[in-house]
């Protein structure tokens, strides 16, 4: 059940980046927006791969990568927010990534302990 929740949340989170990416490009922000697009979509891609893992170790590895990508995404969002390179509020985006990080950390911790 947890996998389906994280799959949906990570997919929805990746979808949000499409609009945000387009807005950042309109503001002529090309470098960080591309990094953000890559890290953010990678979260869901790794979660999807984990759902078809061949072993517990494989599942754990993919979920760990998704967690790392979520942290990278948070970094890029915080950088955009604090630098004010673009005049946008990233609070909602940061809240969403923090939620994903908590879920992914829980999945990784539970899987590691069992």
* Cα–Cα distance measured from residue 80 to residue 90, given in angstroms and rounded to the nearest whole number: 8
The superfamily (CATH) of domain 2-113 is: 23S rRNA-intervening sequence (1.20.1440.60)
pTM (two decimals): 0.90
* Cα–Cα distance measured from residue 56 to residue 47, given in angstroms and rounded to the nearest whole number: 14
Place of tokens 């989170």: 13
Q: Is 36 in contact with 76 (CB distance < 8 Å)?
A: yes
Q: What is the pLDDT of residues 31-90, one digit of tens each?
A: 999 999 999 999 999 999 999 999 999 999 999 999 999 999 999 999 999 998 888 899
Tokens of 21: 């990416």
pLDDT value, residue 82: 94
């Amino acid at each position: 059940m947890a996998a389906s929740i994280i799959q949906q949340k990570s997919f929805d989170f990746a979808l949000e980046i499409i609009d945000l990416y387009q807005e950042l490009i309109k503001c002529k922000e090309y470098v960080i927006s591309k990094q953000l697009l890559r890290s953010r979509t990678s979260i869901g891609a790794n979660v999807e791969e984990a759902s078809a893992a061949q072993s517990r170790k494989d599942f754990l590895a993919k979920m760990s990568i998704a967690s790392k990508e979520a942290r990278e995404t948070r970094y890029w969002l915080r950088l955009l927010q604090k630098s004010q390179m673009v005049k946008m509020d990233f609070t909602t985006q940061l809240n969403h990534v923090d939620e994903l990080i908590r879920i992914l950390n829980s999945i990784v911790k539970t899987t590691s302990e069992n």
